[in-house]
Structure 1
Amino acid sequence: MSTAHQPSSAADLSLLDWASFAVAIPVFLSRWLTSFAFQNHGVLHWRQKFALAFLRTQRASFPTRILRWQVRRTSTGTAITQYCAKHQIPHAAIALSPETTSHHPDLRVPSPTLHVLKGAHPFSGNDENGPTLLYFHGGGYVNPLRAAAHMPFILACAGATNPPCSQAIILEYALAPEHPYPAQLVQCLAAVRYLIEDMSIAPGKIILVGDSAGGQLIGAVFAHLVKPSPYFPVLKLRKGERFHAAAMVSPFTRLPADWRTGSYKENEKRDYLTWKQVGEFKEAWGAKDDEVWANLCGLEGERRMWKGVFEGEGRLVDKTLITVGTAEVFLDDCRVFAVEDVGAEVVKVRRGDDGGKVKGKRLLLVECQDEAHVQVALDSVMGFKDGSMMRSIIGWLSGI
């Protein structure tokens, strides 16, 4: 059984919504083409500019209610199932038992579903000794996985390691506001526990990858391992164990009090994500600002904890990559988390770089020139494989 919302129907929109939608379409098309023709995004390829102009114009032309209805018509599980059927990718859905998320007496968290992809076709190999990729998708905790944006990237990541991953597992988690914080945290922890205890996959064979909200969830899992949250039982790795790798793609690292400062203000007209939309995601998610499992950076006294997660012999993950575009509203927050809290080395890349700058690095923040939030998702939709964020992630994975 799917853990996500029921797909939205046309009945969810009023006649006024439909009228507004119809009136806005010609305005949207005109603004989109104008934005594409006159935008200035430096080194970006025209296909990247085309996708970015589309998203920026779409979010400026239509109200949040219509955009959310449009995105949520297809659940994560349906999107994955349909994509795998279309591309003949072996796929199995595992619904975890209700007991996996029912530990806290005051929480009603549905059990998650794991979507398992494996076989020779998706990863260009069938090595059972390869690692397992566990993917947490983004979407502000309120939107499901988008097949065209996420699936090509997930498959590329799974095929980039050496040897290629033996399987890719995608977590289908419940969405806010129907299931607010900490539902997604609980489901992520249940998924990690299931892989280790029920599927008998050693942490050293697991690679965690997540974009945006999914990147935040990776950090939340690590925080729980060191500082257990009250929402889920203690989860500990055996002495000497650590995860093989983690890649946090444009992670949502901080819940800022003022949305109109720093890169939120500087990149508001460059990124497709705006301070207003981030505020809407935050409100729907309902997270608590003073909890490290929601607010990864900026809390007093947590810096030492993060150093222990990512550095030293006792670290919880062997190699870590964090990426951010220099046109992102999240740029400042990613820098604070990656450099000040985590202690990552910084590498700046641009389109055309071959990934050699990042290969073999153990703890790294990659800043991708002129690229937007989760640029790899936009590039995947456009079939573009030469973006700096895409090349960096694939190149880094090939060296772990």
Structure 2
Amino acid sequence: MSVPPTPAQVLGPPIHQISFFEKLDLLPGLLSTVLSIAYAAATAPFRGSSGASTFNRHVSSAAAVKRFSTLQLQYIGLSFGKVYEKWAGQNNLSPEFITLPSGARAFWLGDYKSAKYITVYFHGGGFSLAGEDTHLNFWNGVHESLKANGVPMATLFLEYTLVPHATYPTQVIQSVEAVNYVLKDLKRPASDILLAGDSAGGNLALAILSHISHPAPDVPPVTIPEGQKLKAAVLIAPWVSFELSWPRTKTNEFKDIVSCYAGDKWSKDYLGGKQSTPYTEAFIPPADWWKDVKVEQLLAVAGSDELLVDPIEAWFAKYKSVNPNTSTLVVAQGEIHIEPIIGPRFGRTKSEQGEAIKSWLKAKL
């Protein structure tokens, strides 16, 4: 839609509903996915250098649901809020939600009242898919790691409005609201706050950093007091460029969990016919754009076998050129897109990217 949805629309049923024929197509789609997995398993020994680094990653790439439309995937899955409620019940926790001015909701992991630091987290999924329990599991593990180091943390997860029910800049506006909630309502200084996100969520985290330094006219301001900076930004495979002509975008296409088709469709759907800007693609602006960015430290992680690794490295080179002492990039050999989040779904409980995040946070906080 061309204008942001009203709070009532955000809180109500999805604006766009799945059609009758899309519902009929669900069973054939599931059968197609099962056949893709079986084919991948059978051909895995012959995948060669163009395939994923391990059998598990090769098969899990085939298991990624690429057959369905966005509305079908949203119909099959739970909303992030429902995922959180279920996860909280399984872990004997009471879910705690807040509602932002736009009508978007956010929810807490950890005790924000006693936490030394608060992370505002933006989940990935091409702006089109909800967050998953693996997001909660990973960040709960980060909390436990930091707590053992004497640093209590809480995380506020934003449940932003998904495409196609809203397009840019709605998701950025809602992200700003989440950050302002911690700054204004909880009265926490910027130095207590981290921004974090994976894939499209990393895109939103970088949009916030851009907006703080270079305010976008169609987005409310972030109310950081003069002279303050956010504590840190943690970016897991941030989606910094919608361009698909990067060399490893092609060579990694059969290694990764995401596809060029999905990336192209989701980016166009997110823009909703608008021109891309530095707030939608962090790679667009020159290096000087990132000079004096309002964050003390930044970590980006990626996998060598993912579609986005080239633009991530290219963007990071710009960023680091003007922030040489406050930026870190880790590219994990043989790992794929958002490995710390997607890996556990297929039994891969540890990743170099995930361990790098925990180690880096322990060192910086």
Shorter-chain TM-score tier: 0.7 to 0.9
Q: What is residue 342 of structure 2 aligned with on the other side?
A: 378
Q: Deviations over 1:223-269 (max 9, x none)?
A: 1111111122333422331111110100000122xx24412112111
Q: What is residue 103 of structure 2 aligned with on the other side?
A: 111
Map 1:130-145 onto structure 2 (within 5 A): 130-145=116-131
Give the partner amino acid of 1:164.
V
Contact preservation (8 Å) 1:89, 1:117: no
Structure 1 window deviating more from structure 2 (163-172 vs 262-271): it is: 163-172
Contact preservation (8 Å) 1:8, 1:69: no
1:9: Cα distance to partner?
Answer: 8.9
Counterparts of 1:206 and 1:40, CA distance in 2: 44
* Secondary structure in 2 matching 1:365: strand
Q: What is residue 310 of structure 2 aligned with on the other side?
A: 332
Q: What is residue 195 of structure 1 aligned with on the other side?
A: 182
Structure 1 window deviating more from structure 2 (377-386 vs 131-140): it is: 377-386
Give the partner amino acid of 2:192.
K
Q: What is residue 69 of structure 2 aligned with on the other side?
A: 64
Map 1:147-296 onto structure 2 (within 5 A): 147=133, 149-161=134-146, 162-256=149-243, 259-286=244-271, 288-296=274-282
Contact preservation (8 Å) 1:138, 1:212: yes
Aligned CA distance change for structure 1 residues 198 and 272 (closer, same or farther; 3 Å):
same
Q: What is residue 308 of structure 1 aligned with on the other side?
A: 292
Counterparts of 2:70 and 2:213, CA distance in 1: 38
Contact preservation (8 Å) 1:127, 1:166: no
1:378: Cα distance to partner?
Answer: 1.9
Q: CA RMSD in A?
A: 3.1
* Secondary structure in 2 matching 1:230: coil
Counterparts of 2:12 and 2:151, CA distance in 1: 29
Contact preservation (8 Å) 2:61, 2:257: yes
Q: What is residue 85 of structure 1 aligned with on the other side?
A: 89
Structure 1 window deviating more from structure 2 (332-341 vs 383-392): it is: 383-392
Give the partner amino acid of 1:239.
E
1:175: Cα distance to partner?
Answer: 0.6
Q: Deviations over 1:130-188 (max 9, x none)?
A: 211211100000111111x2111121223333433342211111011110111100000
Aligned CA distance change for structure 1 residues 8 and 140 (closer, same or farther; 3 Å):
same
* Secondary structure in 2 matching 1:218: helix
* Secondary structure in 1 matching 2:140: helix
Aligned CA distance change for structure 1 residues 14 and 225 (closer, same or farther; 3 Å):
closer
Counterparts of 1:324 and 1:371, CA distance in 2: 8
Contact preservation (8 Å) 1:132, 1:166: yes
Give the partner amino acid of 1:320.
L
Q: What is residue 122 of structure 1 aligned with on the other side?
A: none
Give the partner amino acid of 2:303.
G
Alignment equivalent of 2:351, drawn from 387, 392, 397: 387
Give the partner amino acid of 2:73.
R
Give the partner amino acid of 2:107.
H
Alignment equivalent of 1:298, drawn from 259, 267, 284: 284
Counterparts of 1:221 and 1:56, CA distance in 2: 34
Counterparts of 1:393 and 1:5, CA distance in 2: 36
Unaligned runs of 5+ in 1: 98-109, 120-125, 310-315, 347-360
Aligned CA distance change for structure 1 residues 86 and 45 (closer, same or farther; 3 Å):
farther
Counterparts of 1:243 and 1:179, CA distance in 2: 28
Q: Deviations over 1:291-332 (max 9, x none)?
A: 211121133xx42121221xxxxxx11111001111111111
Map 1:10-25 onto structure 2 (within 5 A): 12-14=20-22, 16-18=24-26, 20-21=28-29, 23-24=31-32
1:35: Cα distance to partner?
Answer: 4.8
Give the partner amino acid of 1:308.
D
Give the partner amino acid of 1:33.
A
Counterparts of 1:265 and 1:32, CA distance in 2: 19
Unaligned runs of 5+ in 2: 1-7
Q: What is residue 94 of structure 1 aligned with on the other side?
A: 98
Counterparts of 2:346 and 2:151, CA distance in 1: 24
Give the partner amino acid of 1:117.
L
Aligned CA distance change for structure 1 residues 370 and 183 (closer, same or farther; 3 Å):
same
Q: What is residue 4 of structure 2 aligned with on the other side?
A: none
1:341: Cα distance to partner?
Answer: 3.2
Contact preservation (8 Å) 1:321, 1:364: yes
Q: What is residue 74 of structure 1 aligned with on the other side?
A: 78
Contact preservation (8 Å) 2:106, 2:156: yes
